[in-house]
Amino acid sequence: MSNPFTFSNNVTPDMIDHNGHVHDANYNMVFSEAINQFNYTHGLSLAERDKLNYTLFTVEEQTAYLSELTEGDTFTITIYIYDYNEKSLHFFSIMTNQDGINIATNEAMMLGIGRTINKTAPFPKSFADQVSNYYDNQQLIEWPKQLGHKIGISR
């Protein structure tokens, strides 16, 4: 088991909405940035994408808001790979605050895209190998109930 990939930052004034906490769109932006940083450091940097004529597209995403962040709070996003195949990555990310409390979760499905054909294409070997290694060695966790959650009104 290796240390999971994490991305940390602080809540800045521009992230705050009229309710005095982080705006929902900003949660999605920082989750997206955390996944980008994961991909950049695991074989798909912007330079590697240009060289390989390859990229990733997000095709589905869901965020669950469990608590609030306010200006000045520190947060950490931990990236997990729930599942993957030769062209797809199913990320599950957990945001915690400075006290270790779960603030939000984010589930994202990404597809590998060959830029010359603008269609799904297998991951480049270097990236595929790093994804496989990360998946095989990531910390085992009990998946939160938010994973795969279907949106609906409780009756």
Q: What is the per-residue pLDDT for 1?
A: 54
Q: Over the chain, what is the mean pLDDT? A: 95
Which residue segments constitute the domains of the chain, with CATH numbers given? 5-137 (3.10.129.10)
Does residue 53 contact residue 114 with C-beta atoms inside 8 Å?
A: yes
The rounded distance, in Å, linking the Cα atoms of 17 and 6 is 25
Q: How far is CA 54 from CA 37, 82, 120, in A?
A: 16, 22, 10
pLDDT digits (tens, 9 = 90+) for 92-141: 999 999 999 999 999 999 999 999 999 999 999 999 999 999 999 998 88
Does residue 154 contact residue 19 with C-beta atoms inside 8 Å?
A: no
Interval 48-65 mean pLDDT: 97
The rounded percent of the chain whose pLDDT value lies above 90 is 87
The rounded distance, in Å, linking the Cα atoms of 75 and 66 is 13
